C-alpha cells in the first residue's frame, strides 16, 4: 500500500487495477492521484519476502537512489522484518498464458517454485543478453538487487522534453553510448538484463501476491509486464490462490502450521 502523506494520507494499493501509464517506468493511479516509478521498491519487497507494508511518500515519484533495488533492500532489512501469524497467500499458475507483440514475448507457466527468465536484444554495445533466477532460493540480494537501470545517451534530450528522467544522472543510471558505458564499470557483466529482470519482478508484484510459477520474457518491457498482470487478474481459470508451496508440502504436521515470514 502506498500512502501520499502530502495528500492527507491518500492510499493507493499496489495492485493491477491501479496501473497507470507504463513507458520507461511503472506508475499507479487512483482517483487522479499518481505514484510513479514503483518497480524498484516493489521488486525489493518481493526479493526479500516482504508482502505486507505501508509505503509513505511525500511526492508523486519514489526516489531513484542509485538506480537499483539494493538501497531499498538494505534500508528495509536495517529496519527489520516482522513475522505474522497469518499464512502467506500465493498466486499459483495453473495454465500457461503467453502474450506476444511483434518480436516481444512474455509468458507464465505452471511450476513448483518461482523463477524468472529474461532475454534482451539491444543495439551495440549491449547486444543480446539472458538471465534466469530462482526466487525460491535466497539469491535476490546478491544476484539482482545491485543491478542498476540504464539509458542511452542519444535518447536523453527527447526523454527530458517529454518530462521523463528528471532525476536521472550519472550517479544513478548506467549511461550507454554507441561506444560503450560512459560512466564507469558494470556491477555484473550482464547487468542490463539483470536490471530488466529486477523490473519484471517488481511489476509482477502488482498481482497482489507472490507467484508460484515460471515467468519467461523476451524483449518485453514495462507495458508487456503489466499486460501479463492484467491478463492474469482478468482470467481466474489461469491461477488459484494457495497458502501451500513445495516447501510446506514437504513438511510434516504440525510444523506446516507455523507462521510464514513476511
Q: Does domain 2-257 have CATH number 3.30.420.40?
A: no
Q: What is the pLDDT of residue 262?
A: 40
Q: Between the CA of residue 252 and those of 99, 169, 249, 255, what are the distances in Å?
A: 39, 52, 8, 6
- Max distance between CA atoms of the chain, in angstroms, equals 60
- N-to-C CA span, the chain: 15
Q: What is the pLDDT of residue 184?
A: 83
- For the chain, the structural domain boundaries read 2-257
All residue ranges of the chain with pLDDT < 70 are 22, 153-169, 248-262
Cell numbers representing residue 8 in the block: 492527507
Classify residue 213 as left (phi > 0), alpha (psi -120 to 50) or beta: left
Per residue in 91-107, pLDDT (tens digit) is: 999 999 999 999 999 99
Catalytic residue among 40, 195, 222, 225: 222
Burial level of 254, CB count in 10 A (0-12/13-18/19+)? exposed
Active site residue 40: no
Global pTM?
A: 0.90
Q: What is the pLDDT of residue 155?
A: 58
Amino acid at each position: 500500500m502506498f500512502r501520499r502523506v502530502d495528500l492527507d494520507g491518500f492510499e493507493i494499493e499496489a495492485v493491477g487495477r491501479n496501473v497507470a501509464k507504463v513507458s520507461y517506468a511503472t506508475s499507479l493511479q487512483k482517483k487522479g492521484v499518481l505514484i510513479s516509478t514503483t518497480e524498484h521498491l516493489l521488486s525489493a519487497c518481493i526479493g526479500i519476502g516482504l508482502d505486507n507494508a505501508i509505503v509513505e511518500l511525500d511526492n508523486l515519484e519514489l526516489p531513484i537512489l542509485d538506480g537499483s533495488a539494493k538501497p531499498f533492500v538494505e534500508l528495509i532489512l536495517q529496519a527489520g522484518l516482522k513475522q505474522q501469524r497469518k499464512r502467506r497467500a500465493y498466486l499459483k499458475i495453473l495454465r500457461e498464458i503467453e502474450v506476444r507483440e511483434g518480436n516481444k514475448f512474455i509468458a507464465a507457466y505452471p511450476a513448483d517454485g518461482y523463477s524468472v527468465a529474461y532475454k534482451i536484444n539491444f543495439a551495440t554495445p549491449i547486444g543480446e543478453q539472458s538471465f534466469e533466477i530462482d526466487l525460491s532460493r535466497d539469491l535476490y540480494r546478491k544476484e539482482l538487487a545491485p543491478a542498476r537501470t540504464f539509458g542511452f545517451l542519444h535518447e536523453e534530450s527527447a526523454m527530458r522534453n517529454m518530462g521523463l528522467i528528471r532525476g536521472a544522472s550519472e550517479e544513478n543510471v548506467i549511461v550507454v553510448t554507441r561506444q560503450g558505458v560512459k560512466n564507469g564499470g558494470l556491477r555484473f557483466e550482464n547487468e542490463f538484463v539483470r536490471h530488466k529482470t529486477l523490473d519484471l519482478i517488481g511489476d509482477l508484484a502488482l498481482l497482489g501476491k507472490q507467484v508460484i510459477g515460471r515467468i519467461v520474457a523476451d524483449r518485453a518491457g514495462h507495458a508487456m509486464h503489466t499486460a501479463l498482470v492484467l491478463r492474469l487478474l482478468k482470467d481466474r481459470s489461469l491461477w488459484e490462490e494457495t497458502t501451500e508451496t513445495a516447501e510446506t508440502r514437504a513438511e510434516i504436521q504440525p510444523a506446516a502450521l507455523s507462521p510464514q515470514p513476511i
